[in-house]
Structure formats: C-alpha cells, structure tokens
C-alpha cells in the first residue's frame, strides 16, 4: 500500500518531477507495486492502487485523497464526498472548504494557477502526512510531502534527514515519537485537525478543527441513550460501507460494541477476529467467545506464539518509518492477517472508547488526588501539612508515610503528576543514557509537550483535559498508527467507528460526571449499553491485545537472542550506557520480566529501526 506522495519543484520540467516521484515509491516490496501519477507543469502527485484512494485532475487542479472525507448536511448527517466535488468546492471557496470536511482521510491538492499546495489531515490524523524542509528550515526549492517518511528520504532533491537526538529521548519516554516532531530534524508531520498551505516558497500550518468540550450541557438520560445508540449505529454503518468488513474482538467493551453493531447494520453475522496467548493474565479469548455467542458472530481465533513474535519483529521494524515501541503491534498484525486470509478487506477497531468516554483507570486515580486540592488552601497549608510533617519518625510509620506520599503527589500539578509512573522517570535518564547523549537533549521536553496539550485543551475540568491529552498521545500518536500500520502490513484497510466525528462531538457534549461518576469509569457508556452488551463484558478488567514479551523472552531462546543481539548492537551507538544494558539484561529482567521486558522491547525496536532504516 504505502500511500500517497507528491512534490512541487520550482522551475522543474514535468519529466524531472516524475523522476523524483518515481524515486519516492517505497511500496515496491509489496504486492501492489504500480504507482500512478498526476502531473502538472512544476508539480505532481502519486499513489499506489488502493480501494481507499480517490483522484481528480483538470488543467489546473491535481488532487489525491486517501480515505473517505464527508460533508455535514443541514440535517446534521455526514455524507461521503467525491474527489471531483472537493475540487469544485475548493474552486468556489478556496481554503475555506477545508473547515466543512470531516471523516477519516488525508488529501493533497495542488493548484497550478498560483503554484499552491494544500495538505490536509483529518481531525485525528488517522492518515498522516509528512513534509520535508531543507537544512535551513525553508522551502525555497519547493515542497516534498508524503504519507510515509521513507518516501521523503528517498527523494533525490531532499538531503537525507539528520536524526534528532531529542526524538530518540522522546521515543524512550513515550514509546513512540509524538508529532509533529519526527526522528528527523528536517521532517515534520501535519498536526491533527490542521492543514499545510504552501505558496511563494513559504508554508503555514493552520488549524481548522479543535475538540470543544461543552461541560455544562444536560439532557435526560433516555434522550442521550437514544442519541448515543443512533450515532453508534450510523458510525459503524459508515465504517463498513463499500468493502468486505470484519471486526477486531478482544472481548472488551469497545470491540464488543463494534462487533455487535456490525452484525446489526449488515443484517448478517459479523466476522470477528481475536488473538490468544498461552500466558496467564494475557489471554482474553474467553471473553471474546462470550461476546461472539451473545451476538452470534462468525468468530475466528489465532494463538500467537513466541516464534510468531520473532518472525514479526523485523517486518514491523521495516514498516514503521520511526521507532515504535508498542508491543501490542504484534498481536494486532496477526489478527489483521487472520482476517485478510479470511477474505476481509477492512477491519474495524474499537479504539477511542476509553479516551472519549472516560475508561482509563488513571482518570479515577487522578480524581482521588484532585480531591485534596479542593480543600481550602489555608486548611491544607496551615493545618494538615504542618501537622503531618511534625510527626516524629513519620516515614517509618506506614499510615503517616502513606499520607505524606499522597500529599506529595496531590501537590504536584497536572499533567506532571501522572508522569510519576513513567518508566523512564522511575529509572531516571542519568541511569539509562550516556552523558554524551544527554548533553544533546532537553530531558524536560516530554513534559513540555504534555503541558502544551493539557493546558491548550478547550476544557475546564481535569477529566476532559486528561481526555484531550490521551486523544493526542494515546490515540493519534500511538494506537492509531499501531492499527493502521499493522493492517497495512497485512495488506488490508482499517476503520475506527468509535472515532467517527459525530461520536466525538457527542462525547464532548456529555457532562464530565457522566463519564466518570465517583470512581465508576465510563458510567454513561456502560449504562447506555447495559441492554446491549453481555453483562460479563461490562464488568471485566481492561486488557486488550497485550503481549507477554518479557515473560516469554526468559524461556524462549530465539526470542531472547534477537532481543540480546539488538541490545548488544545498540551499545555501539553511544546512546544507552553499557552498564545499564548489562543490568537490564541481567538482574532487572530476571526479577521483573513483565516490567523490564517492556524496556527491552522498546530498546530492541529502536535498534531494529536503525538496522532497517539506517544500516550505515
């Protein structure tokens, strides 16, 4: 698949542009290798054949769309819009047409009349677009852009990007590289809900959509429940349009919801797909089977083995343009592969339910800390804290030590307070990285990124600010690239009905206490679907497609070898302290394989990325 790409090249001839575009075809190792070109005088767009691609070209406009944009009618219902219609809207309105777009898509539009380029990603950047700058951060010779970073790096007019040490640090912190920054100093991504405008050798990045939380709207529960179910039904129906469609089914609330509505809107048993593991606390196939029986789905399962993990690691590292440390990519790939072999062309994920409706345990945990700050400051600072700090030998008395720890955490501002659990923070950067590497980075940069999103959220409550944070860092930067990329590796499409724009807007209108009622997570979501989902699913603990990598690695020679070989090669790059790698491979992972196995996976995938993308 490997997407769409393009270039506008000052003073270039058409043949020169086509030659450059041909060099950017990074999908040549896949089955679908035929690239198609839309060429103008000084610009061109290219794409690989795919059911999700639309194109349009006339004497002045070049347009390629990846995905299915929609326009919202006066009735409030979104409808799919064709490429030709978008070109007409652009010619009539200019850039103003972008604000009316929704759905899951990205588009590249070249207007040769003024040598302008518009690059648009949807509200969550489900289909990203990257662009390259010259070493001075300018665009005087034109603009190179693509849905994949590797395509930009292969363009002969682009000086191969220099790796950014800060992004390596950010990767170790977040287990992925948060956008718009990338692993390269001269390549950036377009942020979700934004578009890039290029004209006169200059670019601007412009917002056209931002999630607006409406925290004071109220309506009867029955009214909200009906609206919710109607939107869910239409969201799944839109996501299932046009291709043979199945659904991931982990047995959790979200995937069960999508699977149930998929059968309802298609009028036939949904095809559902699950992954199992021969490891305690990781296998959820029992709940997936329960949901399958409840909705009478046509269910399929595959049990991932350590050998599967060994086989998948190099393919995953090759596919991702940047290091990606989410180990659940492996089971996601095998689940998508299972569906593709069954004839499914698009598979629907349940991603987004937690982040829209308040389902992550940290929301309740942080609420407990926020209660302390609701007390009058005079009471906290003038009475409680002096009293608890005056207790002799307080740290040796468990109840006093616990209260002190609670006050300390509660007194830390958000979002920094959540980061006390971060793996890199707990181990400390000085213990992990070499001094030479740390001299090149700002160790506070990850917190700055979190603060920008948290403080910039259009919300007043702590809960909704946390939701905005997770929509950016958990969905846009992590879970969505995981699913879309692994489906790409399996050569199939992915859909996200719980991230339909109608459903996002609905969730933003819900009062915060309907998302988190006391310590009850997803209060409204579960109550509204209590007559639809199996009761056991509504009360089960969240797992998803986790991978028992650390547990398996200790007992599986091939898995241990690829991990240790990768870490041993990583030693030579002067990024990670060799003493720490020794410690990690020895007593740390032996004592806590699940916990430290995560860090081994992250470091292994960093080295695998270097080997597949920067072998020099």
Q: Cα dihedral angle (101, 106, 111, 116), rounded to 10 degrees?
A: 100
Whether 304 and 365 map to the same domain: the answer is no
Which CA distances in Å does 294 have to 218, 265, 276, 537, 541? 33, 16, 19, 11, 19
DSSP 559-600: HHHHHHHHHHHHGGGTSB-HHHHHHIIIIIHHH-HHHHHHHH
Instruction: Using CB atoms within 10 Å of the CB of residue 353, give its burial: 0 to 12 exposed, 13 to 18 middle, 19+ buried.
Output: buried
Count of structural domains within the chain: 4
- Alpha carbon 164 to its chain's center: 21
CATH code for position 526: 3.40.50.620
Q: What is the mean pLDDT of residues 503-518?
A: 96
Return the DSSP state at 72: E
- Alpha carbon 154 to its chain's center: 25
What pLDDT sits at residue 290? 94
Nearest to 580 by CA among 443, 436, 431: 431
Note whether residue 214 is domain-resident. no
Note whether residue 216 is domain-resident. no
Tokens of 254: 């979200």
To which residue do tokens 């991990």 refer? 563
Whether 71 and 110 map to the same domain: the answer is yes
Whether 55 and 187 map to the same domain: the answer is yes
| Cα–Cα distance, 335 to 302 (Å, whole number) | 7
% residues pLDDT > 70 (the chain): 95
Q: Of 153, 173, 207, which residue sits at a domain end? A: 207
Whether 82 and 120 map to the same domain: the answer is yes
Question: Which of the residue ranges 220-224, 357-361, 418-422, 608-612 would you say has the lowest mean pLDDT?
Answer: 418-422
Comparing 392 with 465, which gets the higher pLDDT?
465
Whether 413 and 503 map to the same domain: the answer is no
Whether 121 and 230 map to the same domain: the answer is no
Q: Of 487, 514, 539, which residue sits at a domain end? A: 539
Which tens digit of pLDDT belongs to each residue from 302-359?
999 999 999 999 999 999 999 999 999 999 999 999 999 999 999 999 999 999 999 9
Sequence-separated (6 or more) residues with CB below 8 Å from residue 320: 481, 485, 609
Which tens digit of pLDDT belongs to each residue from 404-448?
999 999 999 999 999 988 999 999 999 999 999 999 999 999 999
Write out the E strands in 78-124: 78-80, 101-111, 116-121
Phi and psi for 309 in degrees, rounded to 5?
A: -65, -45
Note whether residue 79 is domain-resident. yes
Q: What is the mean pLDDT of residues 518-534?
A: 96
CATH code for position 82: 3.60.20.10
614 within 8 A of 321, measured Cβ to Cβ:
no
Nearest to 599 by CA among 361, 430, 426, 435: 426
Whether 529 and 553 map to the same domain: the answer is no
Instruction: Using CB atoms within 10 Å of the CB of residue 596, give its burial: 0 to 12 exposed, 13 to 18 middle, 19+ buried.
Output: buried
Whether 392 and 301 map to the same domain: the answer is no
Reported pTM: 0.94
Note whether residue 215 is domain-resident. no
Whether 149 and 247 map to the same domain: the answer is no
Note whether residue 368 is domain-resident. yes
Which tens digit of pLDDT belongs to each residue from 448-477?
999 999 999 999 999 999 999 999 999 999
SS3 116: strand
Q: Which helix (H) or strand (E) holds 612?
A: helix 593-613
Q: Which residues pair with 5 in a beta bridge?
A: 46, 146
Whether 32 and 125 map to the same domain: the answer is yes
Q: How confident is the model at residue 539 (pLDDT cuts 50, 70, 90)?
A: confident
- Whether residue 542 is predicted with pLDDT greater than 80 in this model: the reply is no
Q: Of 506, 539, 572, which residue sits at a domain end? A: 539
* Other CB atoms within 10 Å distance of the CB of residue 136: 8
Which tens digit of pLDDT belongs to each residue from 99-132?
999 999 999 999 998 889 999 999 999 999 999 9
Whether 232 and 186 map to the same domain: the answer is no
SS3 1: coil
DSSP 230-295: HHHHHHHHHHTTTS-EEEE--SSHHHHHHHHHHHHHHTSPPEEEEEEESSTTT--HHHHHHHHHHH
Note whether residue 375 is domain-resident. yes
Return the DSSP state at 458: B
What pLDDT sits at residue 30? 47
| Cα–Cα distance, 397 to 380 (Å, whole number) | 21
Whether 441 and 563 map to the same domain: the answer is no
Which tens digit of pLDDT belongs to each residue from 559-580?
999 999 999 999 999 999 999 9
Instruction: Using CB atoms within 10 Å of the CB of residue 591, give its burial: 0 to 12 exposed, 13 to 18 middle, 19+ buried.
Output: exposed
Note whether residue 580 is domain-resident. yes
| Cα–Cα distance, 501 to 507 (Å, whole number) | 10
Note whether residue 544 is domain-resident. no
Strand 245-248, strand 142-146: pairing: unpaired
Which tens digit of pLDDT belongs to each residue from 36-70?
999 998 899 999 977 789 999 999 999 999 998 98
Nearest to 58 by CA among 83, 29, 36, 35: 83
Sequence-separated (6 or more) residues with CB below 8 Å from residue 462: 366, 367, 370, 414
For 352, the domain range is 221-356+474-539
% residues pLDDT > 90 (the chain): 76
């Amino acid at each position: 698949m490997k997407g769409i790409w393009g270039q506008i090249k000052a003073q270039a001839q058409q043949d020169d542009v086509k030659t450059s575009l041909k060099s950017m075809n990074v999908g040549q190792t896949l089955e679908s290798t035929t690239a198609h070109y839309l060429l103008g005088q000084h610009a061109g767009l290219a794409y690989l054949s795919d059911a999700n691609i639309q194109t349009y070209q006339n004497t002045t406009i070049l347009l390629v769309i990846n995905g299915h944009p929609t326009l919202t009618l006066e009735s409030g219902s979104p409808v799919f819009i064709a490429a030709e219609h978008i070109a007409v809207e652009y010619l009539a309105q200019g850039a103003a047409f972008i604000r009316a777009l929704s759905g899951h898509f990205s588009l590249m539009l070249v207007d040769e009349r003024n040598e302008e380029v518009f690059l648009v990603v949807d509200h969550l950047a489900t289909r990203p677009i990257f662009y390259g700058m010259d070493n001075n951060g300018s665009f005087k010779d034109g603009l190179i852009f693509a849905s994949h970073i590797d395509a930009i790096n292969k363009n002969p007019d682009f000086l191969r990007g220099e790796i950014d040490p800060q992004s390596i640090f950010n990767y170790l912190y977040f287990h992925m590289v948060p956008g718009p920054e990338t692993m390269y100093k001269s390549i950036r991504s377009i942020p979700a809900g934004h578009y890039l405008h290029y004209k006169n050798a200059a670019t601007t990045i412009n917002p056209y959509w931002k999630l607006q939380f409406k925290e004071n709207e109220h309506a009867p529960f029955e009214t909200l429940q009906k609206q919710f179910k109607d939107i869910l039904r239409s969201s799944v129906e839109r996501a299932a349009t046009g291709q043979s469609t199945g659904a991931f089914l982990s047995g959790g609330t979200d995937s069960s919801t999508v699977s149930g509505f998929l059968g309802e809107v298609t009028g036939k048993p949904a095809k559902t797909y699950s992954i199992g593991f021969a490891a305690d606390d990781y296998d959820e196939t029992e709940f997936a089977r329960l949901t399958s029986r409840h909705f009478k789905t046509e269910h399929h399962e595959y049990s991932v083995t350590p050998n599967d993990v060994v086989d998948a690691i190099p393919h995953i590292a090759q596919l991702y343009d940047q290091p990606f440390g989410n180990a659940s990519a492996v089971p996601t790939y095998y689940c998508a592969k299972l569906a593709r072999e069954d004839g499914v062309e698009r598979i629907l994920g349940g991603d987004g339910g937690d982040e829209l409706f308040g389902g992550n345990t940290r929301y309740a945990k942080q609420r407990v800390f926020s209660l302390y700050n609701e007390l009058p400051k005079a009471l906290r600072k003038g009475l409680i804290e002096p009293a608890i700090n005056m207790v002799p030998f307080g740290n040796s008395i468990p109840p006093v030590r616990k209260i002190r720890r609670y006050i300390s955490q509660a007194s830390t501002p958000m979002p920094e307070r959540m980061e006390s659990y971060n793996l890199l923070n707990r181990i400390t950067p000085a213990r992990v990285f070499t001094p030479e590497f740390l001299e090149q980075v700002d160790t506070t940069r990850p917190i700055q990124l979190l603060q920008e999103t948290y403080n910039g959220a259009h919300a007043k409550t702590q809960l909704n600010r946390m939701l905005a944070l997770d929509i950016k860092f958990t969905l846009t930067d992590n879970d969505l690239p995981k699913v879309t990329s692994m489906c790409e590796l399996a050569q199939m499409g992915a859909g996200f009905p719980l991230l339909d724009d109608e459903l996002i807007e609905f969730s933003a209108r819900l009062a915060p206490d309907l998302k988190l009622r006391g310590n009850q997570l997803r209060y409204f979501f579960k109550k509204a679907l209590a007559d639809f989902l199996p009761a056991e699913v509504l009360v089960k603990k969240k797992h998803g497609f986790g991978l028992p990598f650390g547990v398996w690695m200790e007992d599986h020679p091939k898995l241990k070898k690829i991990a240790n070989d990768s870490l041993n090669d990583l030693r030579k790059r002067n990024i990670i302290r060799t003493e720490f790698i020794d410690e990690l491979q020895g007593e740390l992972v032996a004592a806590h394989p699940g916990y430290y196995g995560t860090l081994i996976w992250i470091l292994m995938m960093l080295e695998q990325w270097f080997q597949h993308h920067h072998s020099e």
